[in-house]
Amino acid sequence: MTGKLGYSFHVTRDVMAYGTASTGNKGVAYDMTSGANNPNVFAHLPLAAEKAFSLEAGLKANLWNNRATFNAAFFQTRFRDYQTSATERFSDGSLASVLYSIPAIQTRGFEADATVLATRALLLNANLAFTRATIRSWDQGTCYSGATDCTIPNRLVPGAFLRDASGGAMPNSPKWKLSMGAEYTLPRAAWLPYPVAVNAQWRTQSAVRGAISQDPSLDRPGYGILDLGAHVADATGRYKLSVGVRNVLDKHYAVGNVGSFLNFKRTSGPDIKSYGWQPARDAFRYTSIRLDMTF
């Protein structure tokens, strides 16, 4: 069962404040993809139901005779028995992707966005988010290759060892994200019978943890991406032609990764690791042309 309770009130005619509290629930889980007949995997099943409790308080405003909007919110969500998967190596040398239940997870932060019609021809926008997503409690955390603190006995699989991941960061959750953009509509001219607009967008984010195992070799650095574009439309808005250059500065970056598991165990010398990186759609500069028609 889930529920939500909220309250809002108007500070002024154009400014509203609000607050909400909500709960969430995900049922008991069984991992059937990693082989339920694998005793190492089966020892973890079934996982307890996942529960969440969220709080949010914020402000929404229409300003400057509705030429500007501003929204801001503070939020916090706490999870109990958070369900996730990670690769684990067992005492017999085998590897498997195991579904885990993490006792306590927390995410908190704030976000804000604004849009301003600065002039009849210039539209500005900005978005900012700060998020701290952390593991509050997980003393049976999965290990990664090269970890020196894998000394905690696995309570479910005798002979295997785990590590205390309490206080670690949740993967793929940047602490800071920011985007800023502008669109300018060029003045009409005799040689320019249709409205033409040019736009620019800058987005950036801080570094992220790449895996819930806390493997530092999978951390991904922050990046910033600049996009430029222009479009022209007929007077009725039925046809619109757009051109653009994505990732103008040709900044290469990844949005996902896998690895830190062993390809095989060597009889002597260090283990052999395997890594893979997933590039983003615009991880390389490219241009585009698009025609939109409305019927």
* CA separation, residue 29 to residues 26, 34, 46, 70 (Å): 8, 13, 6, 41
pLDDT at 265: 44
Cα 171 to Cα 98, 187, 211, 255, distances in angstroms: 16, 47, 5, 11
pLDDT value, residue 112: 99
Whole domain around residue 212: which residue ranges? 4-293
Residue pair 25/1 in contact by the 8 Å Cβ criterion: yes
pLDDT reported for residue 36: 56
Instruction: Give me the average pLDDT of each 10-residue run along the chain (295 residues).
Output: 93 97 92 66 80 98 96 98 81 73 96 97 98 96 85 84 93 96 89 87 96 90 97 86 96 79 49 76 94 90
- Locate tokens 């501003």: which residue? 70
Answer whether the bond into residue 103 is a cis peptide, omega within 30°.
no
Distance CA 169, CA 165 (A): 9
pTM, entire model? 0.86
Burial class (CB in 10 A: 0-12, 13-18, 19+), 109: middle
In CATH, what number is assigned to the domain containing residue 83? 2.40.170.20
Residue 173 Cα to chain centre, angstroms:
5
Number of domains in the chain: 1
